[in-house]
């Protein structure tokens, strides 16, 4: 007697060849039935011999396509109804949309082989893809994921592509973006005024020539434009820096293959796997020397950010140019990346010499992701192409909550069922263009998932543009809003990513976060969970003369900590680099600010303490990009140094404990006077912080310790703190695919919002 098996499979199961996989498996086992995509995932029924059905079920789970992520399964056994054969049915668009949209996937080896084979009909075709690779998130317009719901809907399949698309044995069976030179998108090279220079293969040759002669190219990729130039050409890189208004911040490099990467940086097996992964992120790697590329690529940095080509277009361009290429986001600093060629003409024309464009529309932007390997695993620092919008699964179904992040490195989050979907990196909300991108991403998420939020969560800071927008949007839509303290959101984000309910001690260290007492927090030890927190301890506060100006001038932070300990006498210490960096008149003005507190807010910021020490060691007095001084301090640290300065924990009855950096500062100045070199001093500072973290964790007594916040992008601090805490018996929680910086806090805001709503319903 036969049986019928019904399965609904949820997760990242569309756009990965799941339906053809089911088709081939069912037919090989002699089973009949059907499979389709719906807006929740993949839905199927198969019937036949019970033993074969059991084998089918087991193999669906164990042999699913490599890019599939099964996150849920509903199944039932029923009586057979007499299906004949096996069909892939038309997708069903009814019901609640919960299917996972896959990120864009880097070119697979099969497609790369085809475009390099002169005998293949896709030879040199820059938009080649299959079910195992190609665009996903950046072309989806609606769910379910079918060609009419993507930006490929305007490209009718030719007869040969149609045959592949309809053949269950072909790897392009139901590959929605599939195309070929006869029916798919085409390249063109444009001048800065939009005149066509060349089309097709000739356009690619023009682009390569532009790069080799030292000019700047704007190349339209998967999720937006790259600005590109020959990374070996000092003048070309300098021109790009000047035009982009990006003085010192390192540029990312794209190289042809792993062999080319090995000529520039140290590549561990883990790094090689990451570079060649389907995510294909920018990976921060120790550079081998400064001779292989122009000095202006990453001035003064011991690392290079390297990535391999993620699309056939980039593979072909790297082969044609035969050089490592700078590949930085196509935007002015602080603006979102350009995605449309006409928009690019108006926004980028002053920065580039030639545009390489194509006619496949980009539905939404996606920058390159940035990853660093630390504490034995990849750690995402910027989450975009290759990772977004995959969600973080949670233990129980959540109400629909929209969270809008903070101000820097913004990403938004939306809870739907047992998933929290994280958007791609949006960036700092400093410009009208950035705010427009922020609003577009939110509207896009709400439309894709047809979501009606029950709550909107935002940062506690009352002046952030995201806060103001959220409060206005909440009133307009008649829903409550919730302000979530910045560092609490960091802690909850780390708990959520690790599937840990808490409580835990959150070591939440960063540059700036608005505190519940109205001061600037940033060196916090919070004990809590998604439902709330207590401030167990924090770094000793000091004033920041000039407020935001001190963020760009580490010398101000140095002067502030000196003034906090030594008073006005500190300003006469001309033996110290940050004191010498100010004129006598400037010192007088800063002293008045520090004495009166006028335009000198109190802060406990760990980020600013890093700045102060970097300035005292003479490593950085002014910065041109966020984190520059702290990165210089990390880079300078001698890994052989194991000594530390004292950093005592002061327990205070009825108040948070204080991690007092004054003894550390005095010891640092004594070592400076003795002539100890900067490398040893930088290492001692890091070691002191690790000692302080360990001592505070022991005093707090929580079994779980979460290391989160922008300071834990610092590999030295992260690895040494995690190692020490683990040796003491703590369970250490670290971020992996959710950034530790502000790009991850919207996740924490969602979970805090869910507990808030649960409390409201309980007392309502």
Is residue 678 over pLDDT 60?
yes
Residue 587: pLDDT band with limits 50, 70, 90: very high
Could you tell me the CA-to-CA distances from 548 to 471, 557, 623, 626 in Å, in that order?
24, 11, 12, 12
Residue 65 pLDDT: 85
**Secondary structure class of 309 (helix, strand, coil):** coil
Across the chain, what does the average pLDDT equal? Answer: 93
- Better pLDDT: 497 or 1: 497
- Which ranges of 63-173 would DSSP assign to H, the alpha helix? 109-115, 159-165
How does pLDDT run across 126-154, given as a tens digit for each residue? 999 998 999 999 999 988 788 999 999 99
Mean of pLDDT values over 276-305: 93
Kindly report which listed range (49-63, 96-110, 120-134, 566-580) carries the lowest average pLDDT score: 96-110
Residue 336 pLDDT: 85
Residue 173: pLDDT band with limits 50, 70, 90: confident
Could you tell me the CA-to-CA distances from 295 to 119, 235, 253 in Å, in that order?
41, 10, 13
Using DSSP bridges, classify how beta strands 187-190 and 354-358 pair: parallel, antiparallel or unpaired: antiparallel
Residue 289 pLDDT: 80
**Secondary structure class of 447 (helix, strand, coil):** helix
How does pLDDT run across 513-544, given as a tens digit for each residue? 999 999 999 999 999 999 999 999 999 999 99
Convert 214-230 to b/e letters by CB count within 10 Å (16 or more is b): bbbbbbbbbbbbbbbbb
Cβ neighbours of 762 (radius 10 Å): 7
How does pLDDT run across 684-718, given as a tens digit for each residue? 999 999 999 999 999 999 999 999 999 999 999 99
Lookup result for tokens 């082969």: 319
**Secondary structure class of 55 (helix, strand, coil):** helix
Residue 663: pLDDT band with limits 50, 70, 90: very high
Most trustworthy range by pLDDT among 96-100, 158-162, 389-393 = 158-162
| Cβ atoms of residues 738 and 712 within 8 Å | no
Q: What proportions of the chain, in percent to the nearest 5, are helix, strand and coil?
A: 35, 25, 40
| Cβ atoms of residues 296 and 237 within 8 Å | yes
How does pLDDT run across 198-249, given as a tens digit for each residue? 999 999 999 999 999 999 999 999 999 999 999 999 999 999 999 998 888 9
What are the DSSP calls for 479-543, one per residue? Answer: --EEEE-HHHHHHHHHHHHTT----EEEEEEEEEEE-TTSSEEEEEEEEEETTEEEEEEEEPPEE
Residue 156: pLDDT band with limits 50, 70, 90: very high
Residue 99 pLDDT: 63
- 577: CB partners within 8 A, 6+ apart: 555, 615, 616, 617, 618, 621
- Which ranges of 200-305 would DSSP assign to H, the alpha helix? 200-212, 234-244, 258-262, 269-275
Report the C-alpha gap between 415 and 401 in whole angstroms.
5
Report the C-alpha gap between 279 and 390 in whole angstroms.
12
Residue 345 pLDDT: 93
Kindly report which listed range (81-85, 102-106, 628-632) carries the lowest average pLDDT score: 81-85
| Cβ atoms of residues 502 and 495 within 8 Å | yes
Residue 94 pLDDT: 62
Is residue 98 over pLDDT 60?
no
Kindly report which listed range (9-23, 341-355, 620-634) carries the lowest average pLDDT score: 9-23
Mean of pLDDT values over 317-321: 96
Report the C-alpha gap between 129 and 139 in whole angstroms.
13
Residue 82: pLDDT band with limits 50, 70, 90: confident
Kindly report which listed range (35-49, 208-222, 393-407) carries the lowest average pLDDT score: 35-49
Residues 338/340/345/346 CA torsion (nearest 10 deg): -70
Kindly report which listed range (60-64, 441-445, 508-512) carries the lowest average pLDDT score: 60-64
Report the C-alpha gap between 401 and 548 in whole angstroms.
32
Residue 87: pLDDT band with limits 50, 70, 90: confident
Mean of pLDDT values over 334-360: 92
Structure tokens at 746: 């919207």
Residue 701 pLDDT: 96
How far does Cα 218 stand from its chain's mean position?
23
141: nearest Cα among 132, 130, 152: 152
Residue 762 pLDDT: 64
Percent of the chain with pLDDT over 90: 79
Residue 418 pLDDT: 87
Residue 760 pLDDT: 73
| pTM across the whole model | 0.92
Residue 2 pLDDT: 84
Is residue 39 over pLDDT 80?
no
For residue 32, the cross-strand partners are 47
Could you tell me the CA-to-CA distances from 366 to 116, 139, 357, 678 in Å, in that order?
27, 11, 17, 39
Residue 696 pLDDT: 98
Residue 144 pLDDT: 77
Structure tokens at 11: 């997760």
φ, ψ dihedrals at 262, nearest 5°: -65, -25
Kindly report which listed range (63-67, 95-99, 140-144, 627-631) carries the lowest average pLDDT score: 95-99
E-assigned strands of 338-464?
Answer: 354-358, 370-374, 377-382, 391-398, 401-403, 413-422, 455-459
Residue 66 pLDDT: 79
């Amino acid at each position: 007697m036969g049986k019928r098996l019904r399965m609904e499979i949820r997760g990242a199961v569309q756009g990965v060849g799941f339906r053809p996989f089911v088709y081939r498996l069912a037919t090989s086992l002699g089973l009949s039935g059907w499979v389709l995509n719906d807006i929740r995932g993949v839905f199927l029924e198969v019937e036949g011999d019970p033993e074969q059905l059991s084998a089918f079920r087991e193999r669906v789970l164990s042999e699913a396509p490599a890019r599939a992520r099964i996150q849920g399964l509903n199944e039932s056994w029923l009586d057979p109804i007499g299906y004949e054969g096996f069909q892939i049915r038309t997708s069903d668009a009814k019901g609640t949309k919960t299917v996972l949209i896959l990120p864009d996937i880097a070119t697979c080896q099969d497609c790369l082989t085809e475009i390099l084979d002169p005998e293949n009909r896709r030879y040199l075709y820059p938009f080649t893809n299959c079910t195992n690779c190609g665009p996903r998130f950046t072309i989806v317009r609606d769910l379910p994921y079918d060609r009419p719901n993507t930006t490929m809907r305007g490209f009718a399949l030719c007869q040969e592509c149609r045959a592949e698309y309809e053949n269950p044995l072909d790897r392009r069976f139901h590959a929605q973006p599939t195309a070929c030179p006869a029916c798919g998108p085409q390249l063109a090279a444009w001048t800065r005024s939009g005149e066509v220079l060349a089309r097709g293969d000739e356009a690619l040759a023009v682009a390569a020539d532009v790069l080799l002669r030292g000019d700047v190219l704007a190349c339209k990729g998967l999720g937006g434009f790259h600005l590109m130039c020959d990374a070996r050409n000092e003048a070309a890189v300098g021109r790009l820096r000047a035009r982009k208004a990006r003085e010192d911040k390192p540029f990312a490099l794209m190289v042809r293959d792993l062999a080319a990467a090995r000529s520039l940086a140290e590549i561990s097996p883990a790094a090689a796997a990451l570079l060649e992964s389907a995510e294909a992120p920018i990976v921060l790697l120790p550079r081998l020397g400064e001779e292989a590329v122009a000095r202006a690529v990453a001035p003064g940095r011991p690392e290079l950010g390297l990535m391999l080509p993620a699309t056939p277009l980039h593979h072909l361009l790297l082969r044609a140019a035969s050089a490592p290429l700078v590949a930085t986001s196509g935007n002015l600093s602080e603006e979102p990346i350009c995605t449309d060629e006409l928009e690019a003409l108006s926004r980028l024309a002053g920065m580039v010499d030639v545009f390489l464009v194509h006619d496949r529309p980009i539905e939404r932007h996606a920058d390159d992701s940035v990853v660093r390997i630390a504490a034995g695993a990849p750690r995402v620092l910027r989450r975009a192409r290759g990772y977004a919008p995959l969600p973080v699964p949670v233990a129980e179904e959540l109400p629909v909550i929209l969270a809008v992040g903070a101000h820097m490195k913004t990403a938004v989050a939306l809870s739907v069922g047992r998933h929290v979907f994280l958007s791609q990196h949006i960036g700092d909300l400093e410009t009208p263009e950035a705010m427009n991108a922020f609003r577009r991403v939110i509207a896009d998420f709400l439309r894709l998932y047809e979501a009606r939020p029950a709550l909107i969560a935002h940062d506690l800071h009352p002046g952030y543009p995201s806060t103001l927008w959220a409060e206005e949007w909440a009133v307009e839509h008649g829903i409550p809003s919730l302000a979530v303290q910045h560092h609490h959101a960091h802690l909850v984000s780390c708990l959520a990513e690790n599937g840990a309910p808490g409580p835990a001690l959150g070591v939440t260290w960063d540059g700036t976060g608005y505190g519940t007492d109205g001061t600037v927090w940033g060196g916090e030890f919070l004990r809590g969970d998604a439902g709330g927190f207590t401030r167990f301890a924090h770094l000793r506060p000091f004033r920041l003369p000039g407020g935001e100006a001190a963020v760009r001038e580490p010398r101000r932070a140095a002067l502030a900590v000196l003034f906090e300990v030594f008073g006005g006498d500190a300003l006469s210490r001309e033996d110290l680099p940050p004191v010498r960096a100010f004129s006598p008149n400037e010192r007088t003005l800063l002293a008045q600010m520090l004495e009166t507190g006028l335009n000198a807010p109190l802060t406990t910021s760990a980020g600013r303490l890093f700045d102060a020490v970097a300035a005292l060691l003479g490593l950085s007095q002014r910065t041109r990009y966020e984190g520059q001084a702290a990165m210089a301090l990390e880079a300078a640290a001698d890994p052989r140094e194991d000594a530390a300065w004292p950093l005592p924990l002061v327990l205070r009855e009825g108040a948070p404990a204080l991690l007092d950096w004054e003894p550390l500062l005095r010891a640092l100045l004594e070592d400076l006077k003795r002539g100890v070199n900067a490398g040893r001093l930088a290492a001692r500072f890091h070691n002191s912080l690790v000692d302080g973290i360990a001592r505070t964790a022991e005093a707090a007594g929580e079994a779980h310790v979460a290391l989160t916040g922008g300071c834990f992008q610092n590999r030295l601090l992260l690895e040494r703190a995690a190692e020490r805490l683990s040796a003491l018996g703590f369970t250490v929680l670290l971020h992996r695919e959710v950034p530790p910086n502000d790009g991850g806090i919207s996740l924490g805001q969602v979970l805090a919002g869910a507990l808030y709503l649960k409390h409201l319903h309980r007392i309502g």
